[in-house]
Amino acid sequence: MDEFVATSSSRLTNEIGLHARPSVKLTKLAKSFSSKIEVAASPDGPWVDAKSIVKVMAFKAGKGDTLHFRASGPDAEQALTALRELVDEAFHEETGGIIAPPERAPHG
Amino acid sequence: MAELRFDGRAAAAGFAAGPLTPIAEHMGTARVAGTPTEEAQRLWEAIAGALAQLAKLQALADGDGADILAFQAAMLEDPELSDPAFTALHEGRAAEDAWSEALAPQIREYETADDAHFQARAIDIADIRDRVLAALRGAPAEPRVAPGSIVLARDLSPSRFLSTDWSGGGAIALAGGSAFGHVATLARARGVPMIVGLGVDPASLPAGALALVDGERAALWIDPQTATRAEFEMRARGATVMMRAASAFRREPAVTKDGVRIAVLINVASPAELDGLDPADCDGVGLVRTEFLFEGRQAPPDEDAQLEIYARIVAWAAGRPVTIRTLDAGGDKPIPGLTLDGERNPFLGLRGVRLSLARTDVFRPQLRALCRTAALGPVEVMLPMIATSGELRASADLLDEEYANLCKAGTPARRPALGVMVETPAAAIAPDLIDADFYSIGSNDLTQYVLAAARDSEAVASLYDPSHPAVLRLIAGVAAHGAARGRKVSLCGDAGSDPRLVERLLRTGLRALSVPPTAIDAVKQAIAHIDLSAPPP
């Protein structure tokens, strides 16, 4: 049984939530740490591997949702700090995200 | 061969002419499976090969293209994606079948998502699937599409788009497809004209025939006649000149030549349309159609889910007014399970507010969500298809009740202003009988009711004229009523986005137009050339 030593949570503020590009950034960052890191969309779980983009995308988390992280391992604290910063800084997204500006959007 | 014309939906504007290039569907091939170990080895190699291809493409792409490829690579690298396939290999499946079947639930999961952005990821997963399948078959690289081609397919994958050379022109015409998918995004960014929803079988059309794509009319011509070609070329040249000229007006508030400030708001049919739009380019949202809530589902999202969607639009508008229309189903917008089937004349049937009042189980949650949204910003609520004051009163009573319920429960809420669409002749002839907080002219329905010419009938299309004096006089009457009583009057029908009609509309006394986001430039440009102090032309 893993003992999770550290937890943290952050609210999604970027315009389109946890979409393709933010998910790529989040999982890449998680993979750069050796600790086991899990993420959940609710404090009660379900917890999933933060290094798996398939799992992370499955949350379909939108703007305003809160992401919860927990980690165990030698660099657990650093990992959580880095992940919180990434979310708090809105994934360093400019507005729009991977769904780029429709300069001439389709008629509705 | 005779000229053929197909109509679809616009996904990216622009004009292109070129040889028609149908792209074949990916075909399943039956193959006898090797031992599980052999099959696993093949699948590993195919995934590695697909990743190598993606890396190569990524090196050539930039911006959104590179991001999309990075996303696909990250998904493909994730064992969560491929583990089910490897598990199935132990049961003696061929690698092709195991791989296709393992990805199918993922694709379905995205296809059925509520959010258009997530739905659009389905084609990325299909793209990943096909790339690996091609590698498994040892298929040669996809056949090259010659520069300048009109690509015709059922749907197009992002990597296919990115591996095509668009520098020599060309366009995309899709039988299916989505105006909100990755490919549409890429096409708009790259300036590649694109039409979706043509509903044509790509294999039924002659490869190599001359094809014309008009991204504004959303039309595709095959083997056009000389006259069609000439008109197309004229429109294409005109569009280039106009777009360049009009874009200069986008960032500035709309003001007529003689200094009258006109509010230019936008119509929003889906929150996804707001991505990449700068709210500073408009004076607010004049119409949020809420029919999109029902797209692809039997029941509307619940109150909380609606609140979340509306709140996103209010946040985008950043303090500018947002007018949200309650559900306008019926007429030409049937919703299964909600609108009546088999009405003899659905345009005169149970539609708009009539349906909402008949279905308070749907109406009340929407009104609650709207009261809660109104606590977040300057939100107004608009009722479609009002004909009598009784309908407005009944709706206002429901709104007041739900607002009171929210207050009692301690839920943050505000009672929004309640306005009406003016689209029935009754409302247009006697607006003074309908004591609404504001009025918005729905010129599409108003025109068809006043001229008794159905919007969807080609046979009477010449009668359907929103600038007919009878329509304009009614609009002028509503504008005058609004001015006398201090109530806002705007127009949110298609007439407002036709630059040729803008002057006649402003001369009725209208000072606010709500138009599709794509029309902002052209409408602002038209306004800048109008002198309301001069006699009418």
Q: Which of A99-108, B52-61, B137-146, B522-531 has the highest mean pLDDT?
A: B522-531
pLDDT at position B299 over 60: yes
Which ipTM value was assigned to this complex?
0.80
Describe the strand order of the beta sheet including B210-214 as a list of residue ranges: B4-7, B219-222, B210-214, B15-22, B150-153, B171-174, B194-196, B9-12
Give the integer Cα–Cα distance in Å for A36 and A73. 6
Residue B315: both structure tokens together: 């946040």
Q: Are strands B15-22 and B150-153 parallel, antiparallel or unpaired?
A: parallel
- Using the Cβ of B443 and the Cβ atoms of chain A, whether some distance falls under 8 Å is answered with no
In-domain check, residue A105: no
* Whole-number pLDDT of residue B206: 87
Higher pLDDT, B492 or B92: B492
For residue B192, pLDDT beyond 70: yes
Q: How far apart are CA A35 and CA B147, in angstroms?
A: 49
Residue A100 pLDDT more than 50?
no
Q: What is the pLDDT of residue A1?
A: 42
| In CATH, B4-23+145-244 is 3.50.30.10 | yes
Q: Which amino acid is at B390?
A: G
Chain B contact set for A93 (CB, 8 A):
none
B78:A99 CB<8 A: no
The segment(s) of chain B belonging to CATH 3.50.30.10 are: 4-23+145-244
Predicted TM-score (pTM) of the model is 0.56
More confident residue, B178 or B528: B528
Q: Which residues of B touch A103 (CB under 8 A)?
A: 188-189, 276
Tell me the C-alpha distance between B116 and B120, whole Å: 6
Question: A63 is written with which tokens?
Answer: 């703007």
Element (H, E) at B383: strand B379-383
Residues 66-105 of A with CB under 8 A from B: 95-105
Whole-angstrom distance, CA of residue B184 vs CA of residue A100: 10
Tokens of A36: 């086991």
Measured distance CA(B223)–CA(B208) in Å, rounded: 10
**Structural contact between residues B266 and B237, judged by C-beta atoms closer than 8 angstroms:** no
pLDDT of residue B296: 58
B491, burial (CB in 10 Å: exposed 0-12, middle 13-18, buried 19+): buried
Q: Residue B74 is nearest to which of A27, A95, A103, comparing CB atoms?
A: A27
Cβ atoms of B326 and B366 within 8 Å: the answer is: yes
**Tokens describing residue A76:** 């657990």
pLDDT of residue B139: 57
What's the burial of B234, exposed, middle or buried (CB within 10 Å: 0-12/13-18/19+)?
A: exposed
CATH code of the domain covering residue A44: 3.30.1340.10
Of A54, A98, A99, the CB nearest to B78: A54
Q: What is the mean pLDDT of chain A?
A: 78
Out of B282, B371, B481, B492, which one is annotated catalytic?
A: B492
Res B89: pLDDT:
86
Question: Looking at residues B389-412, what average pLDDT do you find?
Answer: 97
Q: Determine contact, residues B262/B256, Cβ cutoff 8 Å.
A: yes
Q: How far is CA B453 from CA A103, B287, B347, B466, in A?
A: 34, 24, 11, 11
Q: In terms of pLDDT, which residue wins out, B258 or A93?
A: B258
**B36-136 is a CATH 1.10.274.10 domain:** yes
Name the maximum alpha-carbon separation found in chain A. 54
**Mapping DSSP to helix (H, G, I), strand (E, B) and coil, where does residue B265 land?**
strand
B90 is catalytic: no
Sequence-distant (6+) residues with CB within 8 A of B459 are none
Q: How far is CA B28 from CA A88, B2, B23, B129, B397, in A?
A: 45, 35, 16, 12, 59
Residues B337-382 pLDDT 10s: 788 888 888 889 999 999 999 999 999 999 999 999 999 999 999 9
Q: Compute the nearest-CA separation of B78 from chain A (Å).
A: 6
Given this model, what pLDDT does residue B397 score?
A: 98
Confidence (pLDDT) at B480: 97
| Length of chain B as a residue count | 537
Question: Percent of chain B scored above 90 by pLDDT?
Answer: 50
Tally the domains of chain A: 1
Query: Does the pLDDT of residue A97 top 60, yes or no?
Result: no
Domain region containing A16: 6-92
Which of A99-108, B140-149, B218-227 shows the lowest mean pLDDT across its residues? A99-108
Q: Which residues have CB under 8 Å from B346's CB, separation 6+?
A: B330, B331, B332, B334, B339, B340
Whether residue A86 is contained in a domain is answered as yes
Cα gap B228→B224, rounded to integer Å: 6
Which range, B225-234, B276-285, B295-304, B476-485, has the best average confidence (pLDDT)?
A: B476-485
Q: What's the pLDDT at B159?
A: 67
- B269 vs chain A: nearest CA distance in angstroms? 5
**A52 touches B: beta carbon within 8 Å:** yes
A88's tokens: 């708090």
CATH classification number, B255-528, choose in 3.20.20.60, 3.40.50.300, 3.40.50.2300, 3.30.750.24: 3.20.20.60
Q: How far is CA B352 from the centre of its chain?
A: 20
pLDDT at B245: 79
